Amino acid sequence: MLLRLGLVLFVIAGGFSPAHATDVASCGQEIAAGDTADLTADLDCSGPFGVELGRGATLAMHGHTITMEQPTAVSAVNCANGCRVVGPGALVHPRADVSVDDAVDGVRVLAGRLVASDLDVSGFNEGINATLAAGATLTDVDAHGCSSIGISGRRLKLADVTANDNGTVALENFHGAGISGETIKGHDVTALNNVDTGIAGATVILADATVAGGYLGVSGISRVKLIDSSATGALVYDVRSVHLPKLVNTTCDHSGTSQPPFIHWGVCALD
């Protein structure tokens, strides 16, 4: 009993400190695992990283912007193994001619899980690159004007997410997507005028989604389910899938299969 009481008093007195906050006012700072980083100023960085987050660390943007000037930089925010990026804030790559080979990302996650909210990400090769992570949960995120993909990840959970005007056309080849992943689920998702595909995944299940323009609208390898949504104006198919897509109170112009024999599914207005 005395040992237990002593332990309690030790904790109250500060013997075990909770994760502390680190002020970030310069480029390239490394944040220890589990810590919180408070961005205190706008950063103009030449690379390779704006901020490096250790396992489970959090970056609080506090309305600031991280701009990556160097074309050979790696990412504005680099997460070694899962992290949180909390806005409001912006990640910017200003080069209009950024190449798909430059591989400069807004947020790059190498493992674990990403949680991000209230972010505006623009001009990178990939706005948010979580393809090596276990998954990503994104809320109120806008990824636009990226040369390759706005948002990519294995398992994406999305709420109030926008991915517009991503991708490039090179030598008459369409490249890039608004959102790309293995499993894409969520609501209130917008993907407009992305060069190749608006939303591409193995499984796509979305409610209140708006997809328009591009070569393809919504493309699902395994399963597509859209509820209270619209997919219109794509060059080829607004909804493309291997299996019959399930559309609930959803409007679209053209649908079709992604494998031979190429046929229309008969679920869109102009099929």
Tell me if the bond preceding 88 is cis, omega within 30° of 0.
Answer: yes
CA–CA separation, 134 and 157 (whole Å): 12
pLDDT at 95: 62
- 221 belongs to a structural domain: no
What is the overall mean pLDDT for the chain?
Answer: 88
pLDDT band at residue 5, thresholds of 50, 70 and 90? very low
* Number of structural domains the chain divides into: 1
pLDDT band at residue 98, thresholds of 50, 70 and 90? low
- 143 belongs to a structural domain: yes
Task: Say what percent of the chain tops pLDDT 90.
Answer: 76
Strands 113-122 and 65-68: what pairing? unpaired
Domain with 45, as residue range(s), is 20-195
- 73 belongs to a structural domain: yes
- 231 belongs to a structural domain: no
CA–CA separation, 166 and 48 (whole Å): 23
Q: What mean pLDDT is predicted for residues 117-125?
A: 95
User: How long a stretch of residues is the chain?
Assistant: 271
pLDDT at 9: 38
Q: b or e along 11-26 (b: 16 or more beta carbons within 10 Å of the residue's beta carbon)?
A: eeeeeeeeeeebebee
- 204 belongs to a structural domain: no
CATH of the domain at 42: 2.160.20.10
Q: What mean pLDDT is predicted for residues 57-64?
A: 97
pLDDT band at residue 1, thresholds of 50, 70 and 90? very low
* First-to-final CA distance of the chain: 75
Q: What mean pLDDT is predicted for residues 205-224?
A: 95
